[in-house]
Chain A
């Protein structure tokens, strides 16, 4: 199984997380590929990063 996601900023949707949700299986090998584009310059608040 392969999963590819891209973090990019859309004009209509600056909330990047909304575009970048995928499903990963549990206890199974999965190939993931994340791409972070340099044009993603949305809000700078770091609230999603207060977890963990």
Chain B
């Protein structure tokens, strides 16, 4: 029985008391005298057959009247108001030892240590999916259709709750998900999960998904989103974990919008653990240029320089180099407008199954904008709709809305520990001062009683914190017709948008996902 031996701890705030364990017809004198703030630990056992409804444990004053007070009149006038019942204690015990919802935590870091999916790969020869994390996990074991359990090698001493096997889909979302698994997913290393795909139909579906770039993997969020909302509206490009940026094969990340602003750029490509040579490619318009083909270990690769005539494929120069060095050779002409170029890693000429994350560290200096001036008309209508998908169309007042100067593709999943920062040097140096920010947003966590920053412009440091303007999520659920789920408050004070002297920062106090297309656009 759970309640056969239950330790009870309390702190006594009274001097000179006796502790008595009582079950109507019995008592146990615990100690003769206790001082204030003494910690009294009472361990008692109820014999089987005791009616739990009538059993209780309490403390009595140590006065001489104790013996005179009939215990069967529990709690009685001398009781000090400290009372437990076995039922309550048993319920607490069950709650403490109940299996916890599946979530990902580091073995060494505890719950506050989060891990990220760095990449997901498909090995057609070995017919298996590989999900790589950026650190060791203690993800619960998985239960296969045959009932077998797979265990993380680093979790031999896990608690009873953590050892509970769970369905794969409860902790890890993979698209496409195999319809049936004969063998449970297993941890080949503490940070690498392997899912064997047995059936040809599943294998073909996965191969197709990797070929067209729709495959992704995601660890579960806590609380896990409902199935109906699990997928972004556009499942393409990469997907990710609680935090950080992951990249699925067949996609590109770190796209610079050419046009009139970011004609000079710099990508810093961080390679994770890769087992075979990778190819670094540069796309711009219809041109594809292989920049580097011998990247076989962790390295920093930079692509630097201006873009020049990339569409004509005339001057796509080799500007990639390892170990952080960079070239300044031009890639395209500053006169070219709307040139879109991207950097991607490929495992070979045809697939990108081992492609590593591409991290955009910073953009290079920007060129002054053209003479086209954005004039925005003052509007006090909060319902004015600014739709990022209508790039090039008019906004309020008929002003031309230019294409976004930063328009990355993919999903940024951030918890607040790792904000997404656009360096000051990456922002336009001049303009009217008005600007917009749009993205697809997924708010994973409900309000938790504190303001959560969605985004702000400024350094976020110093006495004034320099967060002007900014957007916040309200700390409480607002009941009402208008903000029935969550309120987003935008404050704007002294707004003189001079982006050259500020840092645009998005900082997230909860779990937020930004999703393509036009994930995160700055205008």
C-alpha spacing A49/B382, complex, angstroms: 21
User: Is B13's CB within 8 Å of the partner chain A?
Assistant: no
- Contact pattern, B 441-484, Cβ under 8 Å of A = 1, otherwise 0: 11110100011110111000000111111111100001000111
A37/B489 contact (C-beta < 8 A), A27-B229, A31-B441 known = no
A38/B379 contact (C-beta < 8 A), A4-B386, A16-B490, A16-B493 known = no
C-alpha spacing A45/B376, complex, angstroms: 25
Stretch in B14-22, B108-116, B312-320, B428-436 with 4+ CB within 8 Å of A: B428-436
C-alpha spacing A35/B401, complex, angstroms: 12
| Contact among B384, B466, B493 with A35 in the assembled complex (CB-CB below 8 Å) | B384
Which B284-316 residues sit within 8 Å CB-CB of chain A? none
A37/B378 contact (C-beta < 8 A), A28-B229, A46-B468 known = yes
A22/B487 contact (C-beta < 8 A), A27-B442, A29-B232 known = yes
Residues on the A chain within 8 Å of B382, using CB:
5-6, 19-22
User: Is B32's CB within 8 Å of the partner chain A?
Assistant: no
Count residues of chain A with CB under 8 A from any CB of chain B.
45
Residues on the A chain within 8 Å of B455, using CB:
34
C-alpha spacing A51/B453, complex, angstroms: 8
User: Is B368's CB within 8 Å of the partner chain A?
Assistant: no
User: Is B381's CB within 8 Å of the partner chain A?
Assistant: yes
Closest CB-CB distance, B514 to chain A, in whole Å? 10
C-alpha spacing A30/B487, complex, angstroms: 13
The answer to whether A48 touches B450, judged by C-beta atoms less than 8 angstroms apart, is no
Residues on the A chain within 8 Å of B482, using CB:
21, 23
Closest CB-CB distance, A5 to chain B, in whole Å? 6
The answer to whether B491 touches A16, judged by C-beta atoms less than 8 angstroms apart, is yes
Would you call the interface of chain B mostly helix, strand, loop, or mixed? loop
Q: Is the interface on chain B under 10, 10 to 19, 20 to 34, or 35 or more residues? A: 35 or more
**Which of B388, B484, B489, B496 is most buried by chain A, counting CB atoms within 10 A of its CB?**
B489
C-alpha spacing A36/B433, complex, angstroms: 8
The answer to whether B442 touches A28, judged by C-beta atoms less than 8 angstroms apart, is yes
The answer to whether B229 touches A29, judged by C-beta atoms less than 8 angstroms apart, is yes
- Contact pattern, A 6-17, Cβ under 8 Å of B = 1, otherwise 0: 111110010011
The answer to whether A41 touches B439, judged by C-beta atoms less than 8 angstroms apart, is no
A42/B488 contact (C-beta < 8 A), A10-B380, A27-B444, A37-B378 known = no
C-alpha spacing A5/B453, complex, angstroms: 16
The answer to whether A4 touches B443, judged by C-beta atoms less than 8 angstroms apart, is no
User: Is B440's CB within 8 Å of the partner chain A?
Assistant: yes
User: Is B88's CB within 8 Å of the partner chain A?
Assistant: no
C-alpha spacing A36/B484, complex, angstroms: 24
Residues on the A chain within 8 Å of B398, using CB:
none
Residues on the A chain within 8 Å of B433, using CB:
37-38
| Pairs across A and B, CB under 8 Å, 20 listed | A2-B385, A5-B490, A9-B378, A17-B492, A20-B382, A20-B491, A24-B441, A24-B486, A25-B485, A26-B443, A27-B444, A29-B441, A30-B442, A31-B438, A35-B436, A35-B437, A46-B464, A49-B468, A51-B453, A52-B467
